[in-house]
Amino acid sequence: MTSGGDAPGMNAAIRAVTRSAIYNGMKVKGIYRGYKGLITGEIEEFKTQNVSNIIQRGGTILKTARCMEFKTPEGRKLAYETLQKEEIDALVAIGGDGTLTGARIFAQEFNYPVVGLPGTIDNDLFGTDVTIGYDTALNTIMECVDKIRDTASSHDRLFFIEVMGRDAGFLALNGALASGAEAAIIPEISKEKDQLSDMIEFGLRTSKNSSIVLVAESEVTGGAIGAAERVKKEYPNFDVRVTILGHLQRGGSPSAQDRIMATRMGVAAIDALLEDQRNVMIGIQNEQIVYVPFSKAIRNEKPINRDLLNILRISSI
Ligand code: F6P
């Protein structure tokens, strides 16, 4: 089952889970539309052919949804009844923070084995160096910023580009490093200090005619529109523009890294079930597969590498 926001590489994970389970003599069923399909019984048996020719495709062939009903005890009871009716003995849930939070509550309530795979472009799950979809989204951001730079430099403009990430700044910070942007405004730092004020004080344009600042979407950062409005007040002469990259960051064919990682994690999910592991998320730390208890993966705030901010500042003077 895939749930929550789709992420490139989810199909590679579905393929690996299906084939590894069949390889190990299990039967596999695909649950459509996340927890919603689990409640309504939108379920189909999967053979190896069901997952042919999908490793290169973005999105998720199982579809996905954000399901409010699963947040209620009544909804979860219906989901449990579906699993019993379908004779499903264990669940592999692929998704982000919301998906794994739901999985954790469900697993505890019904003493049911669930293994999670981190599928989100946000990279905000603790206990894994990267999540499925993050690398592809980062590459998409990099390509978009490269294009915006062409027009920004032609017009001597200052661009604020908003990227996704929910409450995390991984995409903004590493997107800025990869695209040679001048700065990144991210929630982790904005909580502590006014990054935009610092930037204005430091001099927004010391040596350049055009600049690009990546802003992580979040109430804490105020988003790209908020940043642009403030700068326009202080520097009315600046030619400021805003681009919000939005959902295009979630689409596209997954990168090699996402395909490989999703495949490794998918196989590991079946290994975990065979080892009687339950209520863990599969993670990757220093290239090694690890099992991370749900409680750790979703409760802890994953720290950003603060050295990267300094590297960004040095490399963009
Ligand atoms: O969690 C993935 C994500 O793309 C976030 O970066 C973003 O805040 C959110 O989902 C958008 O959700 P939706 O597709 O429901 O608008």
Using one digit for the tens of pLDDT, what is the confidence trace for 292-317?
A: 999 999 977 899 999 999 999 999 88
What is the 166 CA–ligand 1 centroid distance (Å)? 7
CATH 3.90.180.10 correct for 10-133+254-299: no
Q: Looking at the predicted structure, is the pLDDT value of residue 47 above 70?
A: yes
Domain ranges, ordered by start, for the chain: 10-133+254-299, 134-251
- Give the mutation target among 67, 122, 249 for probing the ligand 1 site: most ligand atoms within 8 A of CB: 122
99 pLDDT band, cuts 50/70/90, is: very high
82 pLDDT band, cuts 50/70/90, is: very high
Choosing from 6, 97, 122, 135, which is the catalytic residue?
Answer: 122
**Model pLDDT, residue 206:** 61
Is residue 122 part of the annotated active site? The answer reads: yes
197 pLDDT band, cuts 50/70/90, is: confident
**Model pLDDT, residue 203:** 66
For the chain, the three-class secondary structure string (H helix, E strand, C coil) is: CECCCCCCCHHHHHHHHHHHHHHCCCCEEEECCHHHHHHHCCEEEECHHHHCCCCCCCCCCCCCCCCCHHHCHHHHHHHHHHHHHCCCCCEEEEECHHHHHHHHHHHHHHCCCEEEEEECCCCCCCCCCCCECHHHHHHHHHHHHHHHHHHHHHHCCEEEEEECCCCCCHHHHHHHHHHCCCEEECHHHHCCCCHHHHHHHHCCCCCCCCEEEEEECCCCCCHHHHHHHHHHHHCCCCCEEEEECHHHHHCCCCCHHHHHHHHHHHHHHHHHHHCCCCCEEEEEECCEEEEEEHHHHHHCCCCCCCHHHHHHHHHCC
What is the 5 CA–ligand 1 centroid distance (Å)? 6
What is the 274 CA–ligand 1 centroid distance (Å)? 33
198 pLDDT band, cuts 50/70/90, is: confident
Q: Looking at the predicted structure, is the pLDDT value of residue 202 above 80?
A: no
Residue nearest to atom 10 of ligand 1 (CA): 5
Please state which architecture CATH assigns to domain 134-251. Answer: 3-Layer(aba) Sandwich (3.40)
**Model pLDDT, residue 289:** 98
234 pLDDT band, cuts 50/70/90, is: confident
User: Does this chain's domain 10-133+254-299 share its CATH topology with 134-251?
Assistant: yes
What is the 106 CA–ligand 1 centroid distance (Å)? 23
Within 6 A (CB) of ligand 1 lie: 5, 66, 96, 120-122, 164-166, 217, 250
pTM attached to this predicted model:
0.97
Closest-lying ligand 1 atom to the alpha carbon of residue 66: 15
Mean pLDDT for the chain overall:
96
